[in-house]
Amino acid sequence: MTRPFAGFEFLIAWRYLRARRAEGGVSVMTWITLLGITLAVFALVATLAVRAGFRAEFVDTILGANAHVTIYPSGQIDENGNLIKGFTDYDALTERLRAVPGVTYAAPMVRGQVMVSAFDQVTGGDVYGMNTADVAALPRIGTGSKAQGSLADFDRGVALGSELARILGVGVGDKVKLISPNGPKTAFGQAPRVKAYEVVYIFTAGRFDIDKIRVYLPFAEAQSFFNREGQADEIEVLVADPDHVEAMNDALLGASSPNGNLWSWKQSSGNFLRALTIEDNVMFIILSILVLIATLNIVSGLIMLVKNKGRDIGILRTMGLTEGSVLRVFFLCGAFTGTLGTLLGVGLGCLFALYIDPIFSFVNYWSGGGVWDPSIRGIYNLPAKLQVRDVASAAGLALGLSYVITIFPARRAARMNPVEALRHE
**50-53: which pairs have CB atoms within 8 A and are 24 or more residues apart?**
50/353, 50/356, 50/382, 50/383, 50/384, 51/279, 51/280, 51/283, 52/384, 52/385, 52/386, 52/387, 52/390, 53/353, 53/356, 53/382, 53/383, 53/384, 53/385
Kindly give, in sequence order, each residue whose CB lies less than 8 Å from that of residue 133, ignoring residues fewer than 6 positions away.
none
Residue at a domain's end among 202, 236, 258: 258
Whole-number Å distance between alpha carbons of 260 and 425: 91
Domain carrying residue 153: 75-258
Residue 162 shares a structural domain with residue 300: no
Same domain, 121 and 243: yes
Residue 345 lies in a domain: yes
* Res. 23: pLDDT tops 50: no
- Regarding whether 194 and 135 lie in a shared domain, the answer is yes
Q: Are 187 and 120 within one domain?
A: yes
The Cβ of residue 269 has, within 10 Å, a number of other Cβ atoms equal to 16
pTM of full prediction above 0.85? no
End-to-end CA distance of the chain, in Å?
29
- Whether residue 144 is found in the same domain as residue 236: yes
Residue, of 17 and 37, whose pLDDT is higher: 37
The residue among 209, 231, 258 that closes a domain is 258
Tens-digit pLDDT profile for residues 103-157: 999 999 999 999 999 988 999 999 999 999 999 988 888 866 678 888 888 998 9
Q: Are residues 306 and 162 in the same domain?
A: no
| CA angle at 69 for the pair 66 and 72, rounded to the nearest 5° | 105
Question: 97 and 41 in one domain?
Answer: no
Q: What does the pLDDT look like over 146-196, one tens digit per residue?
A: 788 888 889 989 999 999 999 999 999 999 999 988 766 665 666 788 899
CA atoms of 421 and 312, how far apart (whole Å): 9
Q: How far is CA 73 from CA 2, 111, 230, 333, in A?
A: 78, 13, 14, 69
285 and 167 assigned to the same domain: no
Looking at the domain assignment, is residue 52 inside a domain? Answer: yes
Of 233, 258, 283, the residue that ends a domain is: 258
Residues 332 and 381 in one domain: yes
Judge if 48 and 139 occupy the same domain: no
Dihedrals phi, psi of 236, to nearest 5 degrees: -90, 135
Average pLDDT rounded to a whole number, residues 359-384: 72
pLDDT digits over 282-317, tens only?
888 988 898 888 888 888 777 777 666 666 666 666
How many folded domains does the chain comprise? 2
Q: What is the mean pLDDT of residues 320-328?
A: 70
Triad 383, 151, 197: Cα angle to 5°: 105
- Identify whether residues 104 and 253 lie together within a single domain: yes
Helix (H, G, I), strand (E, B) or coil at 72: strand
Please write the tens of the pLDDT for every residue from 328-362: 777 888 888 889 999 999 999 999 999 888 888 78
